[in-house]
């Protein structure tokens, strides 16, 4: 069983790499989409327009395969634009049925931009799809194949009814524009990504393999740590509903599965940060849980882990992957890049704390730098 989990997780990791090639600073979003899909939950992305939210979701969907549905909601969006129009032939016969061909109820991956602009009718129908994977309208009742819905907005709503709807998205991610020091990389990567279409690497079988194993994950070791983390958050004035607390276990189990394991550990506690509903709560929560996040890591979701915890162990997998990619290159080594990578490794670890895998590639990098000199 573990071999099939590890294989599925490794293939998903490769698909995420392909999907985010050229999209600087958006690996975190792609990894959290995958985490949500395995956990059979949904993710809300908050950030300004033009921050590549839709591009990431679209490219992840293309690399994963399956049916994809995307829509930009507005104040005057009709339910039929998302769910399909009423079948007029059946209506003349006295039956209210909806033709959902090619629409949201048939999609495996859904992206809804400006999700809070939907009407009451749209949001109420969406609740059934998100919570139960079931579409109901008139005489039409359909079980939806939805793996994950990604909602996006420029900000969290003040309206209590809309906030309650937003709470149905278990993961909340807050994105910003690419910082000044990464503008050159963004320009080069964006140009490259526009020239190269995303290759479909998977069907949905890998996601389903992990999703079906979700209930088999052993949470007994991590559950006391999770309870303690909730207590610390409450002491700091950060409240979570009982529903979000219970559902956070699905994300922890999914993190373990994407690490190729059927038993969760303290290394898988990090998704709890993304369950906190506001940007301020996440920033405060990171400090409150800093000590509990010291062992956080995941070799297939390392950008999401690193951004959540900002801990040295969370950087190991990224540093190893970057080093291995660099060592596999056929072109002559660039000493500036080598030196930068070595400096980052040495800034985070000493001889006593460096993991064996990272120590090995560090040695190879150091020898390559000596050769280049």
Q: Is the pLDDT score of 256 beyond 90? A: yes
Confidence (pLDDT) at 240: 94
**Integer Cα distance of 121 and 353 in angstroms:** 55
Query: What stretches of the chain adopt beta strand conformation (E)?
Result: 43-46, 68-72, 109-113, 134-137, 140-143, 148-153, 171-174
Q: Strands of 68-72's sheet, edge to edge?
A: 68-72, 109-113, 148-153, 43-46, 171-174
**Integer Cα distance of 159 and 156 in angstroms:** 9
Per mean pLDDT, which range of 98-102, 255-259, 359-363 is the poorest? 98-102
In sequence order, the β-bridge partners of residue 151 are: 44, 112
For the entire predicted model, the pTM comes to 0.90
* Token pair for 73: 């909601």
Mean pLDDT on 236-247: 95
Given a contact cutoff of 8 angstroms between Cβ atoms, the answer to whether 67 and 106 are in contact is yes
Confidence (pLDDT) at 326: 82
User: Which tens digits make up the pLDDT trace of 348-364?
Assistant: 999 999 999 999 999 98
Nearest of 299, 211, 217 to residue 263 by alpha carbon: 217
Confidence (pLDDT) at 368: 83
User: Which tens digits make up the pLDDT trace of 282-300?
Assistant: 999 999 999 999 999 998 9
């Amino acid at each position: 069983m573990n071999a099939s989990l590890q294989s599925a997780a490794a293939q998903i990791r490769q698909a995420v790499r392909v999907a985010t090639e050229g999209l600087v600073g958006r690996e975190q979003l792609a990894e959290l989409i995958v985490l949500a899909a395995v956990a059979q939950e949904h993710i809300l992305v908050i950030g300004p327009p033009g921050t590549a939210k839709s591009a990431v979701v679209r490219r992840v969907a293309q690399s994963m395969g399956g049916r994809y549905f995307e829509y930009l909601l507005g104040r005057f969006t009709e339910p039929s634009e998302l769910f399909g129009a009423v079948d007029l032939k059946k209506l003349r016969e006295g039956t209210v049925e909806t033709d959902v061909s090619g629409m949201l109820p048939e999609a495996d991956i859904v992206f809804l931009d400006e999700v809070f602009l939907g009407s009451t009718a749209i949001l109420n129908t969406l609740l059934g799809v998100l919570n139960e994977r079931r579409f109901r309208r008139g005489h039409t009742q359909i079980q939806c194949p939805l793996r994950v819905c990604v909602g996006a907005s420029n900000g969290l709503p003040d309206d209590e009814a809309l906030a309650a709807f937003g709470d149905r998205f278990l993961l909340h991610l807050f994105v910003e524009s690419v910082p000044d020091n990464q503008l050159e990389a963004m320009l080069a990567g964006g140009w490259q990504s526009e020239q190269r279409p995303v290759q479909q690497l998977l069907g949905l079988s890998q996601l389903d393999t992990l999703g079906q194993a979700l209930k088999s994950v052993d949470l007994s070791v991590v559950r006391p740590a999770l309870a303690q983390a909730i207590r610390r958050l409450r002491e700091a004035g950060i409240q979570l509903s009982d529903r979000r607390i219970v559902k956070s276990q699905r994300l922890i189990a999914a993190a373990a599965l994407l690490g190729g394991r059927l038993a969760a550990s303290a290394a898988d506690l990090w998704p709890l940060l993304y369950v906190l509903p506001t940007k301020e709560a996440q920033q405060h929560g990171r400090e409150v849980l800093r000590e509990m996040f010291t062992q956080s890591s995941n070799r297939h979701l390392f950008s999401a882990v690193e951004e959540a915890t900002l801990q040295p162990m969370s950087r190991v997998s990224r540093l190893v992957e970057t080093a291995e990619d660099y060592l596999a290159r056929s072109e002559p080594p660039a000493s500036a890049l080598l030196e930068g990578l070595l400096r980052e490794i040495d800034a985070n670890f000493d001889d006593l704390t460096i993991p064996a895998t990272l120590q090995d590639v560090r040695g190879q990098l150091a020898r390559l730098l000596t050769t280049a000199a």
